[in-house]
Amino acid sequence: MTAPTSPILICPSCGKPNRVAPQNPLTKGRCGACQSTLSTGKPVDLTGTTLSTLLTRDTGRYVIDLWAPWCGPCRMMAPAFTEAAGHFADQVRFFKLNTEDHPQAAAQFNIRGIPTLIAYNSGQQAALQSGAMPQPQLFNWIEKSFGLMAS
C-alpha cells in the first residue's frame, strides 16, 4: 500500500504552491513563501489571476462560490457559506468569485445563474450546484461532494 500523496495547495495570499501532508489539518498549513495560513476558516475572495492558478495547479479540496453583490439569493446564502468555511476549515478551503468584478473569469464556467457553487477535489471538478441553499443543505452538499463523514 502506498502512502497518499500530498496535495498541492495554492496560497490565496501570494499564489505560490505548497504541499500539506494529507493527514494534517489544513488550518495548520502555512505558505512556505509568505507564511500565510493556507486555510483560514473564512471564504477568500479570488481575482481572475488567482482563480487561474487555483484551477491549473491546485490539487486540494476547495469550493468556489460564484456570486454578485446585486444577487439577493447570493447575499442570503453568504452567511451559510461563511459558516461552512469555518466548520470544514480543516478539510476544505472556500473561495468566492465576484462575477460582476471578474466577468471574464466567471465566463469560463458557462454558468446560467448565480449563486453557483463548484467543488474541486484532486484538481478535478467534483460537484456543481446552482441556486441558494440553506445551511443544512449546504453542509450536506459539501459532505457528499468530498465524501466527508457527517459531523
**Pairing mode, strands 62-67 and 93-98:** parallel
Question: pLDDT (tens digit, 0 to 9) for every residue of the chain, 151 residues total?
Answer: 455 678 999 999 999 999 988 888 999 999 999 999 999 899 999 998 899 999 999 999 999 999 999 999 999 999 999 999 999 999 999 999 999 999 998 889 998 899 999 999 999 999 999 999 999 999 999 999 999 987 6
Q: What's the one-letter identity of residue 36?
A: S
This prediction has a pTM of: 0.93
Beta strand extents in 23-84 (DSSP E only): 44-45, 62-67
- Catalytic positions are 71, 74
Question: What is the grid cell recorded at 94?
Answer: 472556500
> Nearest CA to 75 among 47, 41, 114?
114
Q: What's the one-letter identity of residue 29?
A: G
